[in-house]
Structure 1
Amino acid sequence: MASVAAVTGRLRSLKAWGAETSGTPLLSEFGYGDVLMASDPHEAQLMNTHAVLMALSEDSLLKPFRQMSGMPAPGEDLGGWYTYDPDYDYRKGFDKGFAPGCTFGQWVSALARAYAINGDEATRQKVLRLNRLYAQTITADFYVRNRFPAYTYDKLLLGLLDSHTYVKDPQALAILEQTTNTALPHLPGHAVEHDVRWRMDKPADDASWTWDESYTMPENLFLAYQRGAGHRYYDLGLQYLDDKTWFDPLSRNENVLKGRHAYSYVNSLCSAMMAYMVAGSEKHLHAAQNAFAMLQAQSYATGGWGPDEMLRAPGSSDVYNSLTNTHHSFETPCGSYAHFKLTRYLLRVTRDARYGDSMECVMYNTVLGAKPLQNDGENFYYSDYNFDAKRVYKEARWACCSGTLPQVATDYRINTYFRGPQSVYVNLYIPSTLRWTEGGVTLLLTQEGDYPFEDHATFTVTSSAPADLTLHFRIPAWAPGASIYVNGKRQSGLAMPGQFAAIRREWSTGDRVELELPLQMRLETIDAQHADTVALLRGPLVLMAVKQQQDSPLPKFTREQLLAAQRISERQWQVNSANGPVTMLPFTSLGEQPYTTYVRL
């Protein structure tokens, strides 16, 4: 018989993690240039997205801004969502003209972050040129003609902030001020819920004019205040907090997720976290913590959420039903970007390792397996968890996920390590080297290993002088029996699942930490009502069953057969079934093969 402990469900409790935050200083992020990645899949995603952005024509990038502002607009249309079409009607197709220019700010942000990583002067110069060309197009007409004035302003705001911070563009804040002055008269005076009509000069029968996302803006408005853009951005951040119908009930632990647009409302929880981190609002911290627990309760085993881009009612069978009624299971790059930001904020505030577990789960099982961004704008959008699933590009080019994927690819670095007073927190186990100084001492922490395919990771210290500090290592909640060795000696009582293991000592060059994380097979149910529908996991990886054809019958397994999966190559497992042996692969290794994430017992 399989152990009962080996069969689990998603987090069912609505109790927030890491609630004890009073008096605890925030962990800080390291800089993009402080982490040197040595992981091929992570680096490949960065190189792919960066190359695509660098190759984009600047006239094409500025074309919708110029057109919508009534200016001459040379160059070719990029096509897809990015194109401006004054006669656009979403009811005739979502492709050409849905969101002209909306990803521009995200692409500038990603380029600025990439420059902070690689120091490439051509990247810096492209950012500077784009900012100056964009500044020439700032007019009220752009916002009047834009279905998404708040969404677009929010992305432009972040692109200019990252240009100021990472590229040191001396004009970025002035351009931001000009942008804000022009945009504000054409934004609602407060956060407006998705699907609520507020632009009375637009057609009442065209729902797309109600899909703007003003409720996500406070995060970047508070960030602008933090980075020196002025106190008006602090005031604007407070002004656009979506309190009455969203944060207030969430802070009271009332589940109001049902029916809301998944990505944008999860993204708005980052605004709640910034309201706490910048303005000290405990209410908004509680709202974000409670909402994340609610989100976990309706997530897939992959960590993804929001089938058909909608949050679901608590206790419903909607997520289970999505295994047969949709292929649009999780809006992957956008959803991952929001998820990473939210868990990063929560971890920095609470130091709760389980937020790192969630980040890791989403990284390995969703966005790291996204198909590459193409030069013509083909982009990976949905992860598919249907019983008849396949990894495909979205039918529309240059969709919103083409904006967030380049940002995700840069941000792996700032998700991997965090800094506390005389301490470093190792959050993600990715081959890499962290470089920093502590009390005038220069230190390197080099991480090696083939985790999550092997159960160990090794860390080596290089130090210009002996340094007294604490290294913290995340012990996943699924890893009972984990162990830590320092210079070959086992450290007893430190490796507690679901916590950071703290090792304080005087560190010198050559000191070595070895981390062993037992990668046990386990099953996870889709929900409590359907305990016979399960996913197979090994450590943080969901192993997905490869099918002969997309519509071929599901393989039939017993619990014992799944838990007895045998590894037959570095990244491939096999399970015996009533239909014969079935290959099991992680999402990053599926290629073009049809698969199913869940099977019925």
Structure 2
Amino acid sequence: MKIQWFKTSILIGLVASGMQALAQQPQLQSFSLNEVHLLKSPFLDAEQTDMGYMLKLDPDRLLAPFLREAGLKPKAESYGNWENTGLDGHTAGHYLTALAQMYASTGQKVWKTRLDYMVSELKRCQDNRTDGYVGGVPEGPLMWEHVANGNFDLFNKRWVPWYNLHKLYAGLRDAYLIGGNAEAKDVLIKLTDWADRLLSKLSEQQIQKMLDTEQGGMNEVCADVAAITGDNKYLVLAKKFDHQAILQPLEAHQDKLNGLHANTQIPKVIGFERIAELDNDSSFDSAARFFWETVVDNRSISIGGNSVREHFNPANNFISMVESEQGPETCNSYNMLKLTKMLFLTKPDAKYMNYYERTLYNHILSSQHPGKGGFVYFTPIRPDHYRVYSQPDEGFWCCVGTGMENHGKYGEMIYAHQGKDLYVNLFIASKLDWKQQGIALVQTNNFPFEEKSELRIVSTKPSTFKLWIRQPEWVKEGGFTLRLNGKFIKAAKDANGYVSINRKWNNGDRVSIQLPMRNKLEYLPDHSEWVSIVHGPIVLAAATDTTKLVGLMADGSRFGHVATGPLEPIDKAPLLVDNGNDISAELKPITEAPLRFTFANMVYQPQYKQLKLMPFFELHDARYMLYWPIAKADSIEQRKHQLADDDNIIALAKRTVDQVSPGEQQPESDHSIESNGSKTGVFRNKHWRDASGYFAYKMRTTPSVKALLVTYYGGDANRSFDIYLDDQKLAHVVLDGSQGDIFFTKEYAIPASVAKPGIVVVKFVAEKGSIAGGVFDVRMVKESKTLN
């Protein structure tokens, strides 16, 4: 059966390839990146900074894992960090996409040259085998051979193999569709055929079990191959990658996301929506929209990000995010914007673009260092903490890969079109070449520093079309106004949040848009007494200190992406006083600096009254306040005591040399988890791991380490197990339920022979017929008296 349709809401940028759509286009289409060019703005600056970072990477070092696995001699040594510790090759896939996007966005040949070279080398790797496989997964061919026969022993010991491979699939797709490299299409299809054969002998139950491990958006890319080729077999393959444990609750509009690894789920939902587009499946579409609404409305903070330590925290309790140095992950927002784009193009509604704009300005734009380059993994909202940035030859985290992509595709959703209708979604200075209509649209502004924008038509002859302009939710009441060639025009907002002008447009016609911004205090989704200060779509923050920025420019160490500098006490952080006044009356503009404000009347402590607010995307190389504790004037002392009580991690953090959260994907991967007969889960919003056999972590030690701290649940009973450090038995543990309905922590003294610089294996081994664990937290700690 051949598919007779093709939709491009994700498959954008059909540029140099000249590929024709097979049939019906979607309701609304984005423009190709080569049709939108950025003008002077923070986004153009970010694009240029990204280019500098990308040019510092060596394609041959990125390609080394693929040549190694194909039995060919690498031309250069592989990069380190995540690129030689199990996720080998994942960055190259991101790099292909980033190269294609940068070529389309700028037209500069250097990006096309690099892209074509990398694709040719990947093809050489594929051609050196007979099965169509190409990948950088360590010992991948042997592992995949076992998987094809239903043996997942090696698969379970590798670091998210399908996730790794998904980056290559996506990179090849984009190299073809955006970068115009036809060879990438051939490599992609052969690689997809390999996957189809690989899964052909596996049962549905085996595949679903396999999908418990993070797999990126394999359902999406296989659906894209179906659209590219018109062959339905790839859509069948895409559906094999649908993870039913996630899909079914979403189809029933049930929020079962608490405790799940956030960025594992978002790409799956992108795949659900892609299949819905191609298969006209309303159930999949409904599931994807429910997921979006749940995450955006209940689980996202003011900058648009979500998750703590990469997992969805309880929607009704954000205290873990407030406390943690591992706040929202940039990859999550990258994927949420991708999903948002898809949903908007199939059902245009300003709510999607409102979220898109908020996240673009405040999380994505802020996630790249503006001078040196470098990308942010976690954005803490903990008071007085900071972010760290990658360096080109050191860090190869997931957020480095998506980071290179993020800042090369800012033009993708500024405009959209449907027939002769043109949508202006974002107020970013840019030039649109609307080739189908033979006109250009130039948007000039200094937004958000000036609260206005202007659209100018450039054409050789009159053209009739309807211009739709988003009326943002953040504009002051009655302040959104339009003028056509200097004359005020009345335009009513439709149900989707847009105003329209339908006329014959002439060369030089101008539409002036006034965008006066309102201010607001935005509480966390759980409505706790924590607020962010928002001006229009811009989240404001304040720099508090520039000291103790440990690892600001991250090295290549396993934990380099985490801001591990000392945590400051939350109860000592700046506290805002709710005086009952409108926030606009409290913010005092600094006239010589746009989007800078003082707000001394709101700040309780005298030493913080000189703090200045600024756009978060401009705040770097400093500790900061992004979310602020707030209290009524008559309850200040009560609020301070509450903050001290809530901040239950700082004393423990000062003692901690190394820590792992059992059951959480990234912390366990960071500590080289090994297990047999083990399982994980979430109990009272805490992750756990136990085993009928064993589980083990590699943990750091120093001469100052004096004890191992392990957290259990008091209700667990009839469990006995041993704890080993390397091969030395440290303790025998019996859990008998006597502690009752609480979590409790045991401290085990560590022999001096173990407390030394380096790595020790902490192993939990069940007695025969019993269970080891459940274990909720594991820490290597110093003595209490060494805190300072």
Q: 2:509 pairs with 502, 508, 511, which one?
A: 511
Q: 2:251·2:287 contact (CA, 8 Å) conserved in 1?
A: yes
Does 590-599 or 50-59 show the bigger shift?
50-59
Q: How does 1:214-363 map to 2 (within 5 A)?
A: 216-228=217-229, 230-242=231-243, 244-296=244-296, 297-314=298-315, 316-317=316-317, 319-324=318-323, 326-332=324-330, 334-363=331-360
Offset of 1:385 from its aligned partner?
1.0
Q: Is the contact made by 2:37 and 2:106 (CA closer than 8 Å) also made in structure 1? A: no
Deviation at 1:197, TM superposition (A): 6.1
Corresponding letter in the other structure for 1:337: Y
**Equivalent residue letter for 1:491:** I
Partner of 1:421: 419
User: Aligned AA for 2:276?
Assistant: Y
Matched letter for residue 319 of structure 2: Y
Question: 2:446 maps to which residue?
Answer: 450
Offset at 1:364? 0.9
Deviation for aligned residue 1:36: 1.1
Instruction: Find the residue that maps to 1:368 and give its secondary structure.
Output: helix
Cα separation, 1, equivalents of 2:377 and 2:228: 32
Pair 1:536 & 2:533 matched: yes
Contact 2:445 2:452 in 1 (8 A): yes
2:711 paired residue number: none
Cα deviation per residue 1:98-118 (whole Å; 9 max; x = unaligned)? Answer: 411012112111111222222
Contact 2:123 2:187 (8 Å CA) reproduced = yes
Does residue 1:156 correspond to 2:168, yes or no?
Answer: yes
Which has more strand, going by share of residues? 2
- Which stretch of structure 1 is more off in the superposition, 162-171 or 567-576? 162-171
In terms of mean alpha carbon deviation, does 491-500 or 220-229 score higher? 491-500
CA distance in 1, matches of 2:88, 2:390: 17
1:588 is the counterpart of 2:617: yes
- Alpha carbons of structure 1 residues 432 and 51: separation in structure 2 relative to 1, 3 Å: same
Alignment: residue pair count: 545
Matches within 5 A, 1:108-147: 108-138=96-126, 141-144=139-142, 147=159
Distance 1:402 1:528, change over 3 A: closer
For 2:460 and 2:247, how far apart are their aligned partners in 1?
48
The corresponding residue for 1:180 is: 192
Moved more, 179-188 or 286-295: 179-188
Task: Report the CA distance shift for 1:276/1:491 in structure 2 as closer, same or farther (over 3 A).
Answer: farther
**Structure 1: 5+ residue stretches without partners:** 1-22, 84-96, 200-209
Aligned to 2:407: 409
> Deviation of residue 229 (structure 1)?
6.7
Deviation per CA, 1:169-196, whole angstroms, max 9, x where unpaired? 23222212332344455569589999x8
Q: Is the 8 A contact 1:64 1:101 kept in 2?
A: yes
Deviations 1:367-412 (A, max 9, x none): 101234999x964211121112212126971111111112212221
Contact persistence 1:320–1:526 (CA under 8 A): no
Correspondence for 1:213: 215
Distance 2:60 2:45 in 1: 27
Offset at residue 504 of structure 1 (A): 0.8
Query: Match of 2:300, as an amino acid?
Result: S
Separation of aligned partners in 2, 1:414 and 1:404: 15
1:572, distance to aligned residue in structure 2 (A): 1.6
Instruction: State the partner residue of 2:520.
Output: 522
Give the secondary structure class of the aligned counterpart of 1:308.
Answer: coil
Secondary structure in structure 1 of the residue aligned to 2:520? strand
- The one-letter amino acid paired with 2:588 is Q
Cα gap change, 1:489 to 1:82, in 2 (>3 Å): same
Checking the alignment, whether the CA contact within 8 Å between 2:166 and 2:215 is kept in structure 1 is no
Q: Which has the higher contact order (CA 8 A, sep 6+)?
A: 1
Q: Given that residues 572 and 583 in structure 1 are in contact (C-alpha distance below 8 angstroms), is that contact kept between their aligned partners in structure 2?
A: yes
- 1:236-277 deviations in Å (ceiling 9; x for gaps): 2222222x3222221221112122211231222211221121
State the SS of the aligned residue for 1:457: strand
What TM-score, normalized by structure 1, do the two folds share?
A: 0.84
Contact 1:561 1:575 (C-alpha < 8 Å) held by counterparts:
no
SS at match of 1:330: coil
List per-residue Cα deviations over 1:508-567 (Å, max 9, x = no partner). Answer: 11211111222111111113441x321111100111133246737322323438432112
Paired amino acid for 1:389: H
Q: Deviations over 1:266-293 (max 9, x none)?
A: 2222112211211111011111111111
Q: Which moved more, 1:380-389 or 1:534-543?
A: 380-389
Q: Quick one: which of 570, 574, 577 aligns to 2:594?
A: 570
Higher Cα Rg, which structure? 2
Residue 366, structure 1, aligned to residue 363, structure 2: yes
Question: Distance in 1 between the 2:596 and 2:335 partners?
Answer: 30
Q: What is the DSSP-based 3-state SS (H/G/I as helix, E as strand, rest coil) of the residue aligned with 1:519? A: coil
Distance in 2 (CA, whole Å) between partners of 1:308 and 1:104 is 25
Q: Could you say if the C-alpha distance between residues 258 and 545 of structure 1 is closer, same or farther in structure 2, counting changes exceeding 3 Å?
A: same
Per the TM alignment, residue 76 of structure 1 is displaced from its structure 2 partner at its CA by 2.3
Structure 1 counterpart of 2:188, one-letter code: L
Which of 389, 400, 411 is the matching residue for 1:393? 389
Q: TM-score, normalised by structure 2?
A: 0.65
* Residue of structure 1 aligned with 2:626, choices 577, 594, 597: 597
Contact 1:475 1:499 in 2 (8 A): yes
Cα gap change, 1:305/1:100 in structure 2, threshold over 3 Å: closer, same or farther?
same
- Greater fraction helix: 1
In the alignment, the residues of structure 1 paired with residue 521 and residue 496 of structure 2 have an alpha-carbon distance, to the nearest angstrom, of 18
SS of equivalent residue, structure 2 residue 43: helix
Letter matched to residue 289 of structure 1: R
Change (3 A) 1:278 1:271: same
Q: How much is the aligned-residue C-alpha RMSD, in angstroms?
A: 2.8
Q: % of aligned pairs identical? A: 23
Structure 1 position 43, deviation (Å):
2.2
The answer to whether the Cα contact below 8 Å between 2:432 and 2:442 also exists between their aligned partners in 1 is: yes
Q: Distance between the aligned counterparts of 1:378 and 1:591, measured in 2?
A: 12
